[in-house]
Chain A
Amino acid sequence: DIQMTQSPSSVSASVGDRVTITCRASQGISNWLAWYQQKPGKAPKALIFGTFNLQSGVPSRFSGSGSGTDFTLTISSLQPEDFATYYCQQANSFPRTFGGGTKVEIK
């Protein structure tokens, strides 16, 4: 299985801050990388697919980059509704695997 490692596991930030979350795959996955946002008690919400493609309706302050094994999710200006846990997921091979999550908390 491809292991997905996210860092940091949590980050404290203020509204307006730029936040970057890193996801590393244990082997190359080309651009087959997705990002999700999950709020407490809710299902994950799709944010980005194919490393950098925003899902319909996702604000442009979210962006993704990377290739191969190293990927990032950036929130350019953190908004109150962005406080949540973020997960990466590889779609290169089976089984699909997720990162351990990064919790974005209010500073």
Chain B
Amino acid sequence: QVHLQESGPGLVKPSGTLSLTCAVSGGSITTSNWWTWVRQSPGKGLEWIGEIFHTGNINYNPSLKSRVTISADKAMNQFSLKLNSVTAADTAVYYCARTPLVGGLIDYWGQGTLVTVSS
């Protein structure tokens, strides 16, 4: 059973950088899966941020691409999200998740972590 756990600061100042890490257990990130970030603003719907494959292939949401970096650390079996120049609009619950190579279904999700952008 794959388990994903997000970690990182819960409060980020405006214009700062949001940094989150997702630790993966119960399976290696070098398997045939995309490792995905999704966010959900308070009371709102879901927004796909992007994903990374262990070979280094990355897909980003164009709406965030200029500010987002997703990376993976195979040795630590984790992947990370950085979002710079944040504003209050980036306040959200951030989920890390797994998307199998075929099918596009996000089948495993972390519990999510709330990141608030405020001074």
Min C-beta distance of B97 to chain A, whole Å: 8
Q: Mark A50-69, 1 if CB is under 8 A from B, else 0.
A: 10000100000000000000
Let me know if B106 and A46 touch, CB within 8 A: yes
Please tell me the size bucket of the interface on A. Answer: 20 to 34
Q: Find chain A residues with CB under 8 A from B62 CB.
A: 1, 95
Which residues of B from 18 to 40 have beta carbons under 8 Å from A?
none
Let me know if B106 and A101 touch, CB within 8 A: no
Nearest residue, chain A, Cβ from B46 = A98
Let me know if B110 and A96 touch, CB within 8 A: no
**B66 proximal to A (CB < 8 A):** no
Interface size on B, residues (CB 8 A): 21
Nearest residue, chain A, Cβ from B48 = A96
Which residues of B from 43 to 71 have beta carbons under 8 Å from A?
45-48, 50, 59-63
Nearest residue, chain A, Cβ from B49 = A95
Identify B106's interface contact among A1, A89, A97, A99, CB under 8 A: A89
| Bound-complex Cα distance A7 to B80 (A) | 34
Nearest residue, chain A, Cβ from B97 = A43
Which residues of A from 22 to 65 have beta carbons under 8 Å from B?
32, 34, 36, 42-46, 48-50, 55
Let me know if A44 and B104 touch, CB within 8 A: no
Q: Find chain A residues with CB under 8 A from B95 CB.
A: 43-44
Let me know if A96 and B107 touch, CB within 8 A: no
Let me know if A49 and B48 touch, CB within 8 A: no
**A91 proximal to B (CB < 8 A):** yes
Which residues of A from 59 to 107 have beta carbons under 8 Å from B?
87, 89-92, 94-101
List residues of chain A with CB under 8 Å of any chain B CB: 1, 32, 34, 36, 42-46, 48-50, 55, 87, 89-92, 94-101
